Structure 1
C-alpha cells in the first residue's frame, strides 16, 4: 500500500496556514482521564502505602502485602547487570560513560565577587536533595531513558535518585534494572501510573517524597505530572516525537527515509518532516519510503504517522530551509548537508541538532552523549534539553558592607517610598550613616 505524503511548497501563498495545520497537535487532556488521575492522586496523598497497593493490584495485577515488597534491592539490580547478554552490558556501559562525560561539562559552580565598597554578591548552586525518575515498564524496555534521566541527576550531586517502573503481571525487565545499576540509581520501586507519580510527589510511609519528577510515560503519567507540578518540579510535558531533516539533495534517499522512520515508529502521532530545495530529491525520498516501509517491523504505526503527520517541503534554498525549521522549532533537527557548520549559524530553535550526513538522530537517542530528553511541539523556542542544570537550584548571595549598606540604602529608600512601602524604606534607612 503506497503512502501519500503531504507536499508543501514554501513559495505558495497558503504555505503558512498549511504548515500551521500540519503542526497542530491537540494536547488537551480527556476529561475522564483528568478525573481518574485526580482521584488516584487524592487517594495516594491521603492513603499513602494503602492506596499505592490497591492501585498496583488493580492496574498491574500485583497482589502484595506491603510497598516494601515492591522495592528492588541493590543486589537485585547488580544481578540484572550480570544476567543480561555481555554485548548489551558493554553497550550500556559505553553509552553511560559518554552521557556522563558530556553532562559533567554542564556542571555549574557557585561563584562570588566583591564590588568596590566591599559588598559581596554571588550565586550558590546546590543540587536537589532527591529526584524521582519514572520509567515505562512491562514489555517496553527503555534503558536509555534511565541513563539519560538518572546520570545528569547524579552528576549534579543529587543525594538520592528514586526510580519507579511498573511491572504488570510481575514482568521485570532486566535491561532496565541493569541500566539503573550502571547509572547509580539509589532506590527502585516496581510501581507505575498516576499512583507512582503521586507517591513521588507526596511521599508515603515507604516511598519518600522527591523534589522533582522526570521521565516519560503514558497519558495518565503525563497528566499526573501536570497535576503535581508546583508541589514538585517536573521536567516537561512532552508531546509526540518529531524529526525535521534539512537536506541539500546529496544524501542517499534511503538514509533519509530511515531517519524519518526512526521517529515515525514511536507512535502514530509522531511527526517526520523533510525540507529540501531539490524537488527531485523529495520524489526520491518518497520512493524510498514506499520501498522500505514493508520491511519495517512497526510498518503499521509508521504508515499511519507518515500519512497523517509527515510532510515533504520544498524551499528555494537552504537559507529558507533554516527559516522553515526555526518556524517549526523541532525536537530533533538533522542538517544533512555538505557544510552543516555554515547552516548552523542560521538555526535558532531546535532541541538537538545533528550535524552532517553521517549523524543519524538515532545515535543521539542512545550513545552520542547529549541528553535525548528534548522539548517538543515547538517548545524549543523557549526551553532546552534535560541537563545537569535541571537538578540544581541557584540561591542569590548578598552581603553588604557598612559602606555598601549606606550607599545602596539611599537608593532603596527612594524606591521603597516611591512604592509606598514605608517599612521597606525605614529598614534600609536604619543602615544609612548620618550626614551630620
Structure 2
C-alpha cells in the first residue's frame, strides 16, 4: 500500500542456484498503486512473523529512483537493476515479502544472502535496522543493522551485504523477509528498510573440479558444446540446468554441480576470432590499360596464388587467382577468375591531384575518355574504406568525403564500365592526393 509512511523494499535477487526461485531479480513496474514483482507475495496479516495490526499495514511496495511516491521520499536507488522492495515497521505497519522455494537437500547447510539499506522517508526517520529471515514460521536469523545519515527524500542508499545460514528440514520451505528494528526506543515515526539482490546457495564453499576443459579459441561459424562428465544436477551461468551448454559467442562460461552438500565448479573462457570471410568479388573481365588490383576484404596474414603475402595482388594476366587469410587457428579463402583483354576504349586517369583551393588540378577525374557508355567510379582509402562512389560519366572527386577533407596519401579506384558494344569491364589503380 502506498502512503506517506510506507517504505518499499525491493528484492533484486542475485543468482539462486539449486533452488526454484521465481523472478529472483524481483524486477517489476513501479506504479501507484503498487504491486509486488511477479512470483512474490506479501507476508499476510495474521502470519506469526508479521506484527502488523491492520490489513493495509502488511502491504510492501515496489519502488525505484522515481517513486512510487517521490514527494515524500518513497523512492531510492536500487543496488542493482531497476527496482527494489522496501517495507515499513511502525505502529500498525510491518511489511514483508515471501516466496515458496523448492529444491533444498534436507540436512545440508544453505546461506541466504542479500543487500540491505535504510531508506529515508519524511515520516520514517529511524536511522538503523536490519531484516529478520524466516523459514516457514521459524526465525533463522536477524541481520546486523545497517545505518544511514542521509536526509529525508534522498536517493542515496548505502547497501550492505548480509547473510543468514540455515539447514532445511524439507525439500521446500516458505522463505520470508521482514524489517527488524535494532533500537525500538528510537522510532522517529518508523523504520523503513530496503532489500535487494537476494541469493540462496549451499553454505559450503565451491570446490574447483575440472569439467569444462582449457580455455579455447573458436573460428567464425564454429560452436562448442560443453558437456561436463558429472552427474546432474548442473547449474550454468545463465541459470539453465541442462546436461550440456552450447557456446556460440565469446565470453566466460561456468557450471556448478551439486553432490550431496558440496558444490563443485569450473569455468572456461571462449574467444571467437574476428575474421571476416575473404571475398575477391565475382569473376570479371578487365581491360588491359590498367592493372587489376585484388583485395581480400579480410584481416590477418595473407597468402596469394603467386606466393606473395601483401594485403593486395595485382592481376596482370588472365587466369585464376586465390587468397588465403589466416588469423590465429582460423583460415578463410576465396578464388576469382580474371580475363584481361583489349577493350578498345580510352580511359586516361591522373595519378595525382591537388585539391588545395588553388584552382588548378582540383578534381580527380578522367583526363580522356572514349568508347564508354556507362561508368561506375568507386574510390577507397589505403585500408579499403569507402571514400566516395558515383555512376556519373562526368564525375570528379574534390577530395571531400562525408563533409570533411580527406587526408593526403594513396587512394585506390575501381571503375566498372560498359563500352559502346555493351561489353563490361573494370579498371583499377591508385593515385595520390596532395594539398
TM over 0.5: no
Normalising by the smaller structure, the TM-score range is under 0.3
User: Larger % of helix: which?
Assistant: 1
TM-score in terms of structure 2 length: 0.18
| Larger CA Rg, structure 1 vs 2 | 2
User: Larger % of strand: which?
Assistant: 2
